[in-house]
Amino acid sequence: MIIKSNIPKHVAIIMDGNGRWAAKRHLSRSAGHRAGVESLREIINISIELGIEHLTVYSLSSENWKRPEGEIKFLMKLFLVTIKNELRLLMEHGVRLRLVGDRKSLPTEVVKAYEEAEKKTSENTRLNFNIALNYGSRQEILNAFKVLGKKINSSELKFEDISIKDLSDNLYTKDIPDPDFLIRTSGEHRISNFLLWQISYSELYFTKVLWPDFKRKHFMIAINEYQKRNRRFGKL
C-alpha cells in the first residue's frame, strides 16, 4: 500500500536493459530502445499520479558514445522523434522538461528540439522531468571545479570560501533538488557515473526487471520499498 504522505519528491532512474530485453526476444537493439520509450511514458504518468515533483532519467551517458555507430545514429533519431511526438502530451499533462548534460557534443538538431521543448514547457508545474542526455557525473564535477577555478583566478571568489553550495550551483542539475530515491533496472548493482555528487543520501533500489518490462506494478513495488526505509541523513 502506498502512503501518500511519504512519496519521494525526486526519483532518479537508470533505465537499463533495453538491449538484453531485445536479445531475449531475438529483436534488434533498436526495438529494445523503442520499447523503453513506452515504459518511460508510463512511469511519467504514474509519477504525476503519485505527486512526485522531479523525475530524472539516465537516457544517454557520455560513455555510451563508444557503442556501434549505427546504434548511436538510431538513438539520436529516436531522441529527436520522441521529443517531437511527446511534446503535446507533456504540455497537456503539465510536465516541465529539462535537458541535463553536455549539449556541445550532441547533434545540433537534437539540441534545438530539446531546447524548444524546454522553452515551451517552462511554465508547467505538475512534474519536472529531467533527461540526462550525454551526461557523465565525473565530467560534470570537473567542469564545476574549472568554473570555480576561473572565479578564484579572477578574484571573484576566495579559495577558502568555496562551499558545497558553490559546487552544486555549477553542476548541470543546478536548482534541481537532490534525488530522494534512485532506481536501477536490469539487475546491475552499480551507479555508472550517474549523479555521483547528488545521490550522497539517496535511497538506492536495484531490480532485475529489464527497463522495457518496468511498468506500473514494478514502480509501485519500488515506491513501497522506499517507504520502508528510515532516512536518517547521518543522524541517529
Tell me the average confidence (pLDDT) per consecutive run of 10 residues in the chain, 236 residues long. Answer: 93 97 96 96 97 96 86 92 94 97 94 97 98 96 97 95 96 97 97 97 98 98 96 70
Regarding pTM above 0.85, the answer is: yes
The CA distance from 214 to 39, in Å, is 6
How many Cα atoms sit within 13 Å of 193 on the Cβ side? 18
pLDDT at 234: 67
Angle at 108 between CA 60 and CA 149, to 5 degrees: 70
Active-site residue, selected from the candidate residues 6, 18, 64, 180: 64
pLDDT of residue 168: 97
C-alpha 41/C-alpha 64 separation (Å) is 22
**Domains of the chain as residue ranges with CATH:** 4-135+179-226 (3.40.1180.10)
* pLDDT computed for residue 232 by the predictor: 75
Amino acid 235: pLDDT: 66
- Residue 1's pLDDT is 81
CB-CB contact of 18 with 210 (8 Å) = yes
Strand pairing category for 10-14 and 181-184: parallel
Q: Residue 166 catalytic?
A: no
- Catalytic, 64? Answer yes
